[in-house]
Amino acid sequence: MSSNTTPEKVTAEHVLWYIPNKIGYVRVITAALSFFVMKNHPTAFTWLYTTSCLLDALDGTMARKYNQVSSLGAVLDMVTDRSSTAGLMCFLCVQYPQWCVFFQLMLGLDITSHYMHMYASLSAGKTSHKSVGEGESRLLHLYYTRRDVLFTICAFNELFYAGLYLQLFSNSATFGKWTTIISFPGYVFKQTANVVQLKRAALILADNDAKNANEKNKAN
């Protein structure tokens, strides 16, 4: 039996109900539910938030397996990632007011770098923001082409914030402390990747603008 389940004539409704997109909807629901229990129920929050994060590794696999790769799925995946992390960081800003500016800066870097990188990649004619050649950036090439590296670094990034969250509760404070310490190197790698992709995106957009300006000048 073929793994390609896409019908001959694909409609918008088909795309909306692609298997990976269904997984994406579950990610949104579990992430949203985790916000409601975040303040007083750390165990429930951990299960819901972890489920949303782990499903992130499943939707891409299902998209490739069933030939159901879509722009909707790619955007849904990215905004769910950014939104779920942002929700957790908002809570941490309240609980760690002395680190509020740091969290704000990291959140701004996360959102800005991913949005600009996706927009720049699509503007340059690439089918995905994950299409990065080794000659363009070794770090981003490693980060985006090796699924094991991408999953591990993203997991460490989430674990760093989750560790800070768990330290707020007496029965999980020690575990949270060690989670934060162990995940810190991966967290630093992730923020470095964000800076690199932000710089790359700015250069791509500036290069496109320069080409468009030159073509306009020639036409005049």
Distance, in Å, from the CA atom of 203 to the CA atom of 81, rounded to the nearest integer, reads: 25
Helix axes 173-219, 138-145, angle to 10 degrees: 120
Per-residue DSSP letters for 107-161? Answer: HHHHHHHHHHHHHHHHHTT-S-TT---TTT-HHHHHHHH-HHHHHHHHHHHHHHH
- Residues 72/16, Cβ–Cβ less than 8 Å: yes
- Catalytic residue, chosen from 81, 110, 148, 207, is 81
One-letter amino acid for residue 35 of the chain: F
Catalytic, 81? Answer yes
Q: Which amino acid is at 169?
A: F
For residue 150, give the amino acid letter. Answer: L
Query: Rounded to whole angstroms, how far apart are CA atoms 165 and 219?
Result: 58
**Pure H helices in the chain:** 12-16, 19-37, 42-65, 71-95, 100-123, 138-145, 147-166, 173-219
| Distance separating alpha carbons of residues 70 and 19, to the nearest angstrom | 11
Backbone angles phi, psi at 114, to 5 degrees: -70, -40
Q: Tell me the catalytic residues.
A: 81
